[in-house]
Amino acid sequence: MSFNVIMLRKVFFFQSIVNPPFRDKPFRTGLAPRPIHAYTSRMLRIDQLGKRYGDHLVFQGLTRTFTPGCVALCEEESTGKSSLLGIIAGVIAPDAGDVRIDGHSLIHAPRQAKARLAYVPDDCLAFPEQTGRGLLEHVAREKNVPLDDAVLNLACRLGLEPHLHKRFEQMSTGTRRKVFLTAAALGDPAVVVADGPSNGLDTQARIVLAEQFSIWARDRVVLFASYDAELVRACGATVTTVAALRPQPG
């Protein structure tokens, strides 16, 4: 893979975690949910999504409207979970269909759509020489929001604070993920997408993650892929599969 292609992928990925200003007051046990508006009943829509790699068809015709709450994709490997989440996050191009995030088309209005999204990827080593604090500060600048006490409180609750000065290449898998989970709290995302969000996390951080997902799910869509049955139960997630997102014959 060429150097230019790698850099383009990093640029597209970084754009996917840029969100608009967060203006809510801190919630007692985490970050506050944003005010509920009339459009919140249709925060995320996937319409006739299709993806293939060469001759291999991953999925086609995926169609669903997601309303506020936690939804967990819980199924075996190679079913297209990561591809679906990557398409919704705008880091993988679909071969068919469209995604609408808070009313914005990812195809026709990608900047507006991505501005309403937070993304925690499976691979959190996109910026090996960046420090944890450096990434949070960069994302905050891109979103034009402060790295405020509410966000730093989430980092502290996740046990991240002592590691913020480290470069990503020096961090464990779980610590890298904590940085991206904290970054997802910056701005005002309508949709949070996470691929394996509890992978590598210690017990206390998993408890905090479930609490935060529950808070976010009050007024936004939290869509994640996970084999962690305890996380799914603790945040009250609705369980589904990629295959179940195909329209059923009527």
> What's the Cα-to-Cα distance from 102 to each of 37, 107, 158, 159, 200, rounded to whole Å?
11, 14, 28, 32, 31
161: which residues sit within 8 A by CB, 6+ positions away?
Answer: 152, 155
d(CA 40, CA 25): 19
pLDDT given for residue 157 in this prediction: 97
d(CA 21, CA 37): 16
pLDDT given for residue 78 in this prediction: 81
pLDDT given for residue 250 in this prediction: 58
pLDDT given for residue 87 in this prediction: 98
What is the maximum alpha-carbon separation in the chain? 55
Burial class (CB in 10 A: 0-12, 13-18, 19+), 103: middle
pLDDT given for residue 117 in this prediction: 93
Per CATH, the number for 41-245 is 3.40.50.300
Cβ neighbours around 247 below 10 Å, total: 10
The pTM of this model reads: 0.83
pLDDT given for residue 35 in this prediction: 46
Q: Contact, 120 vs 193, CB < 8 A?
A: yes
pLDDT given for residue 18 in this prediction: 46
pLDDT along the chain (250 residues), means of 10: 45 46 34 45 86 95 96 89 97 97 95 92 92 94 88 96 97 97 93 97 97 96 96 97 84
> What's the Cα-to-Cα distance from 210 to each of 22, 151, 234, rounded to whole Å?
21, 16, 6
Of 50, 142, 143, 66, the closest CA to residue 102 belongs to 66
pLDDT given for residue 102 in this prediction: 94
